[in-house]
Amino acid sequence: MTFPVHAAVGVGVGILAYKYVPAFQDERVVLIVLLALLFSVWPDINVAWKKMNQHHHDITHYPIFPVGILAVAVYSSILGTENLEFVIFFAILWLLHLCLDSFGVREGMLWLWPLSKKEYSVTKLSNRVKLERRKITAHYFKHGVFVAEVLVVAAAAGAILSSF
Ligand SMILES: [Zn+2]
């Protein structure tokens, strides 16, 4: 999905997390929302070194890393380690980014990397079609992922509005 969708989801999840995670209520709401925003968008930092239509083929988009962090954090919390809420929050928002990126236009997600390099996408991929820049925009609006993005942003807006 696109950057504005990841950002909207980050803000929405940040507000919900502040409301429902007791440990976060000791902090300022602005801090939780800003962290959620940052944790939601950071995987796309790799467009600085990867081509846009290949940026899912990179360390920031391989699910094994946030899944590993989440597994270690949950296991540690079972052992009684405290203050893991932010680590778990980071891993969940990272995973959420990857779930949203599974609604692809030109790229799927490599959910089974390093076992497989197969790309998975909820929506039909057209990554083998070579399009001019102008046509890519038109293609995006006709593609099913645009509808999915509108629904996700509406859900995030609902979360944000419900907090007032
Ligand atoms: Zn991404």
Give 109-124 pLDDT, tens digit per residue. Answer: 999 999 999 999 998 8
pLDDT in tens, 34-72: 999 999 999 999 999 988 888 999 999 999 999 999 999
Within a 10 A sphere around the Cβ of 7, how many other Cβ atoms?
17
Q: Could you tell me which of 56, 59, 162, 41 has the C-alpha nearest to residue 96? A: 41
Query: Would you call 60 helix, strand, or coil by DSSP?
Result: helix
CA 43 – ligand 1 centroid, Å = 6
CA 101 – ligand 1 centroid, Å = 6
Burial 112-124 (b: 16+ CB within 10 A, else e): ebeeeeebebebe
Q: How high is the pLDDT of residue 152?
A: 87
DSSP 8-state assignment for residue 124: P
CA 47 – ligand 1 centroid, Å = 9
CA 58 – ligand 1 centroid, Å = 10
Q: Computed over its alpha carbons, how large is the radius of gyration of the chain? A: 17
Q: How high is the pLDDT of residue 137?
A: 79
Q: Which two tokens stand for residue 6?
A: 């990841």
CA 158 – ligand 1 centroid, Å = 23
Q: How high is the pLDDT of residue 8?
A: 94
CA 50 – ligand 1 centroid, Å = 11
CA 60 – ligand 1 centroid, Å = 8
Q: Across residues 71-79, what is the average pLDDT?
A: 93
The whole-angstrom separation of Cα 78 and Cα 163 is 31
Q: What are phi and psi of 109, to 5 degrees?
A: -110, 140
CA 82 – ligand 1 centroid, Å = 30
Average predicted confidence (pLDDT) for the chain: 90
Q: Which two tokens stand for residue 127?
A: 């990554």
pLDDT in tens, 84-100: 999 999 999 999 999 99
Q: Across residues 4-18, what is the average pLDDT?
A: 94
